[in-house]
Amino acid sequence: MPQEHNPANLRTEVDRLLAEGAIEAASRRLAELWRREPGSATAAFVGSRADQLRDKLPLTKFKLAILRSFTVEPIVPPLRAEAFAYGIDLEVHIGDFNTYVQDFVDAKSSLYRFAPNAVVLAVRTEDVAPELTHQFADLAPEAARQAAHRVASGYEQWINSFRQHSQAALIIHSLERPARPSLGVVDGQSETGQSGLIRHINSELRRIAGSHRGVYVLDYEGLVARYGSEHWHDERKWLMARLPISAENLLPMAREWMRFLVPLSGRTAKALVVDLDNTLWGGIIGEDGMTGIKIGPEHPGAAFQALQRALLDLSRRGILLAICSKNNLDDAMEALDKHPGMLLRSTHFAAVRINWGDKSQNIREIAQELNIGTDSLAFLDDNPFEREQVRAALPEVTVIDVPQNPAEYAAIVRDCPVFERLTLSAEDQQRTAMYAEQRQRADAEHSFQSKEDFFRFLEQEAELSPVSDLTLARIAQLTQKTNQFNLTTRRYSEAQIAEMANQPGWNIFSIRVRDRFGDHGVVGVAIAHDQGGQCEVDTFLLSCRVIGRTVETALLAHIAKCAAERGCRRIVGWFLPTRKNAPARDFYPQHQFELVEQNANGSLWAFDLTRQEVAFPKWVKLITVN
């Protein structure tokens, strides 16, 4: 087992490793320090050391602007430390107190000069709706309603201005109701009291946000309620330093922002690998047997059912589940499929490794089987030894730390930001079933003599459509999540895709693939940009689960044909290598593209459309949608 370090020694060791230039090791120790002793002071240490590491590590750069009506400065160091632990190099810009309206409206404001990826609007009720807070007792009911209406339409105007100048994500704090309403208990008797009107503003805010791409509501009231309003606030700090949040809730505030920033920066987990004994159920199946393990609606099995319910929720979000357990396969499978207390069954798991082997090796195999990178995996195990072993062997895996008490497992999994999704597509919700179909395909593939026979048997259909409202969210999601078969790895938000679709000369296609085993859903994107008789492929990507069965050729053939029909003489495209996209490296040369340029960023390939065409694969049926 790796040596345990106490936090004071960890600081010394980080500095020693930094002095030696051991970048990766220093970064791991720094993340360990943060995990073990998160807080305001540690955040300052982590921040200063992370500054020395940031340019040497493969971190995702992300720029966040915070527009606010209260002091947020002390939340920023814990936020940046937390981001660092999730592989994000976060740069933060803070607006002046209460200048958010000017910042949104003025195209030359410091907000837009900063060019953020995301903006948080953190405003207190009394600042955005002073009439409804301090002067409420003086307002006639109709005047109060109008005041609420003005606040809601204010949000709508700011969002509209913001969208004229920026495609960044916008995260808006919902408004808190006053803890002690002006009218006392009378306030609770109608919908037009202080609380009722603020609830109304919040529901209007949700409606407005829902009608704009990339605009989200942070349920601030829900967050405060989770920690308890009396406990969350610190009236003295508010009066002294305009800081309304108590010291011990600065980290929870930072973590709530992370639930948006992790999915926005694409640092999410696509699958969660779980242990069985003392994780999915209490006890050890090999020793305690079917009647001895604890899983069911009553204590002590109830805590494990609560965890299973949390895992079911993740699988409905499209996060795959997998098992990695040291057990006898037959014992474990019997419990999984026959125990009456189990909510999860073996069919809920996209990959299963039950053996006595090393867990990190099993996890590598699971990643291969699911066709995702190990950095897209999270790992849940009650045993600290296994967690440390996986962390040491596979530092890119998100290892979830759980305390001794199983009653806390479910909440810890639910709070983990790598499982957050900002929108859910139909593909997400059906993903587990798709992986079951995928296993049938793999079995079928082995039973054919030749690839061609297998392709013919598959009866693939490729449905090619230009971007529409129905596919926009999925297209953006694919650009953000696809790492392996992605020629340029350009990440786009929904708002950016929508913007691009409105520009002349840009063509955005998605591909949906079906075969005899089922529907893969929308699995690929091509974005092409015409300029001066030449069509440049800006983005070309496909989900790995359809690669190698010629639909990638179908997509290329289609965009080449459309480009020729638009009168383009030539189609060109960059291959920009990353750590992960080796599977796409030979794609252009394999399709008779010729190398025209090579530089430090990548290689540019071209295909003459006046003399040749990209052949559409004969075993794929083309369906075009307009």
Partner 1 sequence: MNPAVFDQIRTMASDLFGVPADRITATSSPETLENWDSVQHLNLVLALEEKFGMQLSPEEIEQMKSIGDTAKLIESKLQATPR
Strands 349-354 and 320-325, how do they pair?
parallel
Tell me whether residue 179 or residue 241 sits nearer to partner 1 (CB atom): 241
User: In 408-417, which positions are buried (b, 16+ CB within 10 angstroms) versus exposed (e)?
Assistant: ebbeebbbbb
Determine which residue in the list 99, 246, 328, 361 makes contact with partner 1, applying CB under 8 A.
246
Q: How far is the CB of 37 from partner 1 (least distance, A)?
A: 9
36 binds partner 1 (CB under 8 A): no
Residue with token string 């289609």? 558
Q: How far is the CB of 248 from partner 1 (least distance, A)?
A: 5
Stretch that binds partner 1, among 7-15, 204-212, 315-323, 606-614 (CB under 8 A): 7-15
Determine which residue in the list 40, 192, 361, 371 makes contact with partner 1, applying CB under 8 A.
40
16 binds partner 1 (CB under 8 A): no
Stretch that binds partner 1, among 3-11, 62-70, 473-481, 491-499 (CB under 8 A): 3-11
Q: How far is the CB of 74 from partner 1 (least distance, A)?
A: 5
Tell me whether residue 37 or residue 530 sits nearer to partner 1 (CB atom): 37
42 binds partner 1 (CB under 8 A): yes
Q: Looking only at residues 46 through 65 of this chain, which bind partner 1 when binding is defined by CB under 8 A?
A: 48
Locate 141 and state its tokens.
Answer: 């009911």
99 binds partner 1 (CB under 8 A): no
9 binds partner 1 (CB under 8 A): no
Tell me whether residue 38 or residue 178 sits nearer to partner 1 (CB atom): 38
Tell me whether residue 39 or residue 466 sits nearer to partner 1 (CB atom): 39
Tell me whether residue 46 or residue 508 sits nearer to partner 1 (CB atom): 46
Q: How far apart are CA 257 and CA 420, in angstroms?
A: 11
Residue 96 is which amino acid? Answer: D
Do 437 and 460 touch, CB atoms closer than 8 A?
A: no
Q: In what order do the strands lie in the sheet with 398-400?
A: 349-354, 320-325, 271-274, 377-380, 398-400
Residue 75 is which amino acid? Answer: I
11 binds partner 1 (CB under 8 A): yes
In degrees and rounded to multiples of 5, residue 609 shows phi and psi of: -80, -15
CB neighbourhood size of 304 (10 A): 26
Residue 329 is which amino acid? Answer: L
Locate 383 and state its tokens.
Answer: 């045993």
Q: What is the CA radius of gyration of the chain?
A: 27
41 binds partner 1 (CB under 8 A): yes
Tell me whether residue 15 or residue 369 sits nearer to partner 1 (CB atom): 15
Determine which residue in the list 13, 34, 45, 254 makes contact with partner 1, applying CB under 8 A.
45
Strand partners, 23: none
234 binds partner 1 (CB under 8 A): yes
Determine which residue in the list 248, 401, 452, 613 makes contact with partner 1, applying CB under 8 A.
248
Q: How far is the CB of 350 from partner 1 (least distance, A)?
A: 40
Determine which residue in the list 8, 225, 329, 596 makes contact with partner 1, applying CB under 8 A.
8
Number of residues forming the site for partner 1 (CB under 8 A): 24
Q: How far apart are CA 195 and CA 213, in angstroms?
A: 29
Do 385 and 418 touch, CB atoms closer than 8 A?
A: no
Locate 557 and state its tokens.
Answer: 């053939």
Q: Looking only at residues 381 through 410 of this chain, which bind partner 1 when binding is defined by CB under 8 A?
A: none
Binding mask 194-233 for partner 1 (x = CB under 8 A): ----------------------------------------
600 binds partner 1 (CB under 8 A): no
Q: Looking only at residues 450 through 479 of this chain, which bind partner 1 when binding is defined by CB under 8 A?
A: none
Q: What is the 3-state secondary structure (H, E, C) of 343-401?
A: CCCHHHEEEEEECCCCHHHHHHHHHHHHCCCHHHEEEECCCHHHHHHHHHHCCCCEEEC
Determine which residue in the list 107, 186, 247, 582 makes contact with partner 1, applying CB under 8 A.
247
User: In 512-522, which positions are buried (b, 16+ CB within 10 angstroms) versus exposed (e)?
Assistant: bbbbebbbbbb
CB neighbourhood size of 288 (10 A): 15
Q: How far is the CB of 250 from partner 1 (least distance, A)?
A: 7
Tell me whether residue 44 or residue 595 sits nearer to partner 1 (CB atom): 44
Determine which residue in the list 132, 251, 397, 535 makes contact with partner 1, applying CB under 8 A.
251
In degrees and rounded to multiples of 5, residue 465 shows phi and psi of: -135, 145
**Closest of 271, 381, 380 to residue 322, by C-alpha:** 271
- Looking at residue 255, what DSSP letter applies? H
3-state secondary structure of 547: coil
Q: How far is the CB of 437 from partner 1 (least distance, A)?
A: 50
Residue with token string 């296994």? 386
Stretch that binds partner 1, among 37-45, 101-109, 356-364, 427-435 (CB under 8 A): 37-45
Which residues of the chain form contacts with partner 1 (CB under 8 A)?
7-8, 11, 39-45, 48, 73-74, 77, 234, 236, 240-241, 243, 246-248, 250-251
